[in-house]
Structure 1
Amino acid sequence: MRQAVPGPRVVGEAAPGGGPGRLSLTRTGLGVIGAGLVFGPAGWATGYRDSLLLGLGCLLAAGAALAWVLPSPGVTASRTLVPPRTERGGRAVATVQVVRTGKRARRGLQLSDGTDDQRVVVRVPVAKAGTRIVADYEIPTPRRGIISVGPLELVVRDPFGLFQRAHRFGAMAELVVRPRMVRLPVPASGRDPHLDGTTSNAVNGATSAFHALRAYVAGDDRRLVHWRSSARTGVLMVRQMADVSRPHTTVLLDTDPMNYTTPQGTYSEESFELAVDVSASVAGSAALTAFPVRLHAGAEVLVKGDSTDAGGVLDALAEVSPGGGGGLGRAISALTGSRGGGSLVVVTSVLAGAAPARMVSAVHGNFDRVLVIQAGSPLAGQTGRTAPAAPAPGTPSPRGGVGVFTLDTLDELPLAWKRMSVG
């Protein structure tokens, strides 16, 4: 039996295992018990039979209701979140499954699950032992971040609505909402690029460096055998070489809230979210192509070293929020000690004006290619006034050796990126 429930859809799994249950008294139950405690003794004291009978009836009803909810519900429940990670605005679905395990069918069972913003209640119909009841609901993902899903509870109510008992199954689950991204090619950069274009395969020769040891496989160059490790482990080991000329990318996301503020003092969330999406596209695409990437959010280093974990890059950006962190100038100055070569991409807001390009010029010599992407519309948050002149969206404009272009939407990024890469 399957029920479709409108609403959120989730990822992950909550294992079955309800505890003894949390017993609570409803407002109706509180009123009935209060009436019984008032009318019963009053009727006894005054000899008014109707009052006595009313009080006893209320207390008997409360006792019957309590006896209804105390036994075990005879079910197990679990939740599956698919997928556990999605992009902002993407689809995520939770599938809740209830299995009857008791011999006696129970009535008045409701399954409750969802997020802080939306709870979904599913009535569990009377069914035979072993029957599986499945319900789906969709989780809205309008914002980045971590969405807590749960708790998954089975609520037992008596027919009078006086008591309820909630049995919790499994733990809370988390849905990671990542920024949106579009796939981009990695711009050629590096001190010794291959004549046939960039490649992520390791090569042997002058442009290679030792990366790790691995077990020998048929076809490996015998000159790369590491005999000392082979003798120690009893397994033939070879040196795995890495191409040091692979283009590496450093992405710096401007998180200074002042650079996303309009002249009227209004913070533009839309511009910041677009900047995060652009950062995810640049850094995530490099990692997906197996090229090393470093990610900075203001002065904070989100991805250290030369990572090729695209999932880690997107997860790190899922929780980024605006924060000063010393401002963009401090974040850029921290790059002065970076090793030479590779690409530096600074993502900021068009509301910041020309200041980011001037700041980046200080570290221009440390990188083979430097780009500044200004996200958002110059009219963001403005009413009744003319915005300052800005380059046409998606049009690169070099400033002192630094490539600068603006974007109104994420959809403009692939074409602008292609123009920049060949420029």
Structure 2
Amino acid sequence: MGLETVSPSGRLLAVASVAAWGLGAVLGWDELVLLGVTGVLLLVLASAMTLGHGSVRVAVEITRRRLQPDDSTRCLVEVEHQGRRSLFAPEVELPIGRDRVEVFDRGREVEITGLRRGVIAVGPATTVRGDPLGLLRRTVPMTEVVEVFVHPLTVPLEPLGTGLLRDMEGRTTDDISMSDLAFHALREYVPGDDRRHIHWRSTAKLAQDGRFLVRQYLDSRRAHLVVVVDGQSYSDDQVFETALSAGASVVKRAAADEIDTTVVAAGHVCGKGRAQHVLDVFARAEQGGPVLAEAATRAVAAAPDATLVVLITSAQHSYADLRVAAAAFPPEVRKVVLRVDPSAHTRRAASTAFSVLTLRQLNDLPALLSGGTLQ
């Protein structure tokens, strides 16, 4: 039992009891000695009531762990007292975010409401042993911490574009291959070529002296979307929330289109994975972290095979800043910059290096990205 078990009133009683006992013994005052002995006995009795492990099993179950703002979920806490019930059976407390819920007897069902974007820690559920006077208090964790993710608000979007969806066709590159789907040209057969790629009709028409012509292809690769949300350039929290909502909307649409996605949101990185797990990054994001150019560099390291990148930031970045961030990606990667600016009109602008989209409010995003803007 450590000092953290003793409450401030318990510490005060301990000091006062020892002082009264000692002072009474020196001065010969029996009344002070009696007060000191009484205080010590109270502490001993409180310690006896606090000791012991108890036979309690606690289970916490949450109906939904991934929500949107203003949604609600239920938390069921089951308490099972094993063996004989004691008069001083421990209480059970469950932290939910910054709140603390007391659980009595066999359990309790708690409704978690009024949620805002973020991560809410539920638990650990603890048993609390103490005395009626509150002199000592000992807690023992009984469960693990369970995280509830509140994702940003999202809006439904149209498919991100035929060029991204048709992964069977892929996105062609300039790399020559002997086995792919993007036909490029014919060339003469050389030893080691796969005979299955011989183009017999062209060989019969064009080749002479017994030479063969084989098909040659351009490499194609699976579409891979990268979404980068800046975390340092926002004038207020609402602009930052709009940026996160825009990024989450794009990621959610990409998941429906079965496009591989990597997210870098205010310093948090999540590679390819299930859509819900990728959206968890937006729940964890807070203002701060690396600047836009550094976030883009992290995205390149996390997704070297990216085919499309969406950089989401505020209007405070200059065109030069955007160009530096976009330059972190290879030239063949398609780049789109989405600037959140509540004071401007929603519009599109094109440049030689990347497209620039200005978003006034989240509800404008579907129209802004319609017509294959990200294609």
- 2:98 is aligned, of 118, 122, 125, to 118
CA deviations 1:386-409 (Å, max 9, x no partner) are: xxxx4x22x334445954332232
2:360 maps to which residue? Answer: 408
- 1:173 is aligned, of 128, 137, 146, to 146
Deviation at 1:279, TM superposition (A): 1.8
Q: Is the contact between residue 270 and residue 281 of structure 2 (CA under 8 Å) also seen in structure 1?
A: yes
Alignment of 1:130-149 (within 5 A): 132-136=106-110, 138=112, 141-144=115-118, 146-149=119-122
1:253 maps to which residue? Answer: 228
Deviation at 1:61, TM superposition (A): 2.5
Other structure's SS at 1:38 match: helix
Deviation at 1:103, TM superposition (A): 1.6
CA deviations 1:42-99 (Å, max 9, x no partner) are: 4455554433333333233333222222244442222223433334565454332222
Q: Is the contact between residue 113 and residue 121 of structure 1 (CA under 8 Å) also seen in structure 2?
A: yes
Cα distance in 1 between the residues matched to 2:23 and 2:115: 57
1:68 maps to which residue? Answer: 49
Cα distance in 2 between the residues matched to 1:64 and 1:31: 16
Q: Is the contact between residue 313 and residue 338 of structure 2 (CA under 8 Å) also seen in structure 1?
A: yes
Cα distance in 1 between the residues matched to 2:6 and 2:101: 19
1:152 paired with 2:130, answer: no
Q: Is the contact between residue 108 and residue 159 of structure 1 (CA under 8 Å) also seen in structure 2?
A: no
* Root mean square deviation, CA, Å: 4.5
Cα distance in 2 between the residues matched to 1:250 and 1:172: 32
Deviation at 1:310, TM superposition (A): 1.6
1:83 paired with 2:64, answer: yes
Largest Rg, 1 or 2: 2
2:293 maps to which residue? Answer: 327
Q: Is the contact between residue 112 and residue 122 of structure 1 (CA under 8 Å) also seen in structure 2?
A: yes
1:376 paired with 2:341, answer: yes
Query: TM-score, structure 2 length as denominator?
Result: 0.67
Residues 25 and 42 (structure 1 numbering): CA distance in 2 closer, same or farther, change over 3 Å?
A: same
CA deviations 1:246-297 (Å, max 9, x no partner) are: 983533425273xx25xxxxx4443333222212221231123212334456
Alignment of 1:209-248 (within 5 A): 248=223
Query: TM-score, structure 1 length as denominator?
Result: 0.61
Other structure's SS at 2:230 match: coil
1:345 paired with 2:310, answer: yes
Deviation at 1:202, TM superposition (A): 9.8
Q: Is the contact between residue 167 and residue 222 of structure 2 (CA under 8 Å) also seen in structure 1?
A: no
Other structure's SS at 2:356 match: strand
Alignment of 1:351-366 (within 5 A): 351-355=316-320, 366=332
Cα distance in 1 between the residues matched to 2:53 and 2:161: 65
Deviation at 1:149, TM superposition (A): 3.6
Cα distance in 2 between the residues matched to 1:182 and 1:275: 12
Alignment of 1:235-314 (within 5 A): 248-255=223-230, 257=232, 260=233, 267-295=235-263, 302=269, 307=272, 309-314=274-279
Cα distance in 1 between the residues matched to 2:262 and 2:322: 20
Q: Is the contact between residue 153 and residue 169 of structure 1 (CA under 8 Å) also seen in structure 2?
A: yes
- Which structure 2 segments of 5+ residues have no match? 171-178, 183-218
Letter in 1 for 2:332: N
Deviation at 1:159, TM superposition (A): 1.9
Q: Is the contact between residue 160 and residue 254 of structure 2 (CA under 8 Å) also seen in structure 1?
A: no
Residues 351 and 46 (structure 1 numbering): CA distance in 2 closer, same or farther, change over 3 Å?
A: closer
Q: Is the contact between residue 66 and residue 163 of structure 1 (CA under 8 Å) also seen in structure 2?
A: yes
